[in-house]
Chain A
Amino acid sequence: MRASSLGLFRPGHSPLHRLRPGTKLLILLVLGAASVVTQHWWWAVAILILGSMLAYRVAGWGVRLWWLQLRPLWMLLAFTAVVHALTSGWQRSVADTGTIVVLVACAALVTLTTPTTALVDTVVRLAAPLSRFGLDPERVGLFLMVGIRCVPLVAGLAQQVREAQIARRATTSTRAFVVPLVVRSLREADALGEALVARGIDD
């Protein structure tokens, strides 16, 4: 799978595909809130990890796709795991790293099983009350959509920068990776912003 299709909707007929987008977002929200509690018990987090893998099966996919959603984060995950293991023990390490794993995997599962338009429309509807505070719901939805759009974009750029580094036998220093990535991300963001404006979605 190319990074550019990360987390993008994949059509299907599973129960998860049929669930209403609002319900899925609610479950995600509940899961986020629950993780505050569950991260005190490593075994609870372990169960949630298994549960998230199972959810991918229910959606009609395997653990491979589950892992593909997490792969771009593996360095961060490994770092968190090691730091926690060294400073606060392996239980804490499993609980904290696992919580990130569960939330990322489940958030990706929502976007994988929901057409983006439906997701954005749902958020726009849910955000309607915010118009009382001067917030434009359509803009909130757009913001979310641009967020969804940017994940695969940045992941794809990271891959390109990595390949360019390998091709030029550059060092593996973090700076040599982060600087071009940030520069290119900003340039892409600029182009995306311009495209949005040109297509009549004013700033």
Chain B
Amino acid sequence: MRIELERVSHTFGDGPTPRTVLRDVTLTLTERRIGVIGHNGSGKSTFLRLLNALIVPTSGRVLVDGLDTARDARELRRRIGFLFTDPDAQIIMPTVSEDIAFGLRRSGLSHEQVDARVRDLLVRFGLDAHAGHPAHLLSGGQKQLLALAAVLITEPLALVMDEPTTLLDLRNAAMIGRVVADLDQTVILATHHLDLLAGFDRVLVFHEGRVVADAAPAAAIASYRDLMDGER
């Protein structure tokens, strides 16, 4: 998958207090594992939402395999799944298996095909014992697994994840980290859990809406730390 940002800027609000959150970002991303780090409010979530066409940049273009997010949002979201921080906000159906199946409602697949895919994911994520259970009774880690399964059912080529482990305890965060490492898909992941980035191909450091470092994990994390020290 090839993601290109061409001179992308984004400003929220056009009233008396507009807020420019991304400034002139130009990037080409082709790696399989891309990390995104930076302070609170540095623009990480905004950047990720752009990739999935949840927002359109106020200037510049975002291209995913040549598709422009401003024009081909629907097709693009079929290729890129999005995992949010709070699994509770993404769980839509009451029971575990219904929620996983939800993304295929309009897919035109038969009941049997949908069921087969749901079963595969339930087994793969160790949720098969909970298939018929109310989704809200799962633990935090299981909920995030459910949310991930619900995204994977549509077989996206890439996954964008916005701090998928922030609300989890250390054990569950590590577990999600392992699951993410095993995914076949391209992953673009923002996080404050820096150890998740071990083994990533490339890490972007955002600061005040700009990419201020773009390197392998160790080097990127080092410049993120420098940034923090510089502010002291």
Contacts and interface: CB of A to CB of B under 8 A. Distances in A.
A2 B136 contact: yes
A149 B92 contact: yes
A86 to B, nearest CB: 40
A195 to B, nearest CB: 4
Contacts of B19: none
Q: Counting chain B CB atoms within 10 Å of each CB, which of A116, A149, A191, A200 scores highest?
A: A200
A163 interface: no
- Pick the 8 closest A-B CB pairs, nearest first: A191-B89, A198-B82, A195-B90, A8-B94, A4-B136, A199-B103, A117-B98, A116-B94
A134 interface: no
Interface of B, helix, strand, loop or mixed by DSSP: mixed
A197 B74 CA distance: 9
Interface string A181-203: 00000001001101111111110
B94 A9 contact: yes
B92 A196 contact: yes
Nearest to B49: A194
Given A9-B94, A199-B150, A202-B74, A192 B89 contact: yes
9 contacts: A2-B136, A9-B134, A115-B98, A116-B93, A138-B106, A149-B93, A149-B94, A199-B103, A200-B154
A117 B77 contact: no
B78 interface: yes
Report the interface size class on chain B: 20 to 34
Contact of A9 (B52, B92, B95): B95
Interface of B: 52, 54, 74, 77-78, 81-82, 84, 86, 89-90, 92-95, 98, 101-103, 105-106, 132, 134, 136-137, 150-151, 154
Given A2-B136, A199-B151, 4 more contacts: A148-B94, A192-B89, A197-B77, A198-B84
Contact of A201 (B89, B95, B105, B132): B105
A145 interface: yes
Contacts of B151: 198-199
Contacts of B78: 200
Contacts of B98: 115-117
Contact of A117 (B86, B89, B101, B136): B101
Interface string A137-178: 010000001001100100000000000000000000000000
Nearest to B53: A197
Given A116-B94, A117-B93, A198 B134 contact: no
Contacts of A8: 94, 134, 136
Contacts of A196: 92
Nearest to B154: A200
A45 B82 CA distance: 49
Nearest to A202: B74
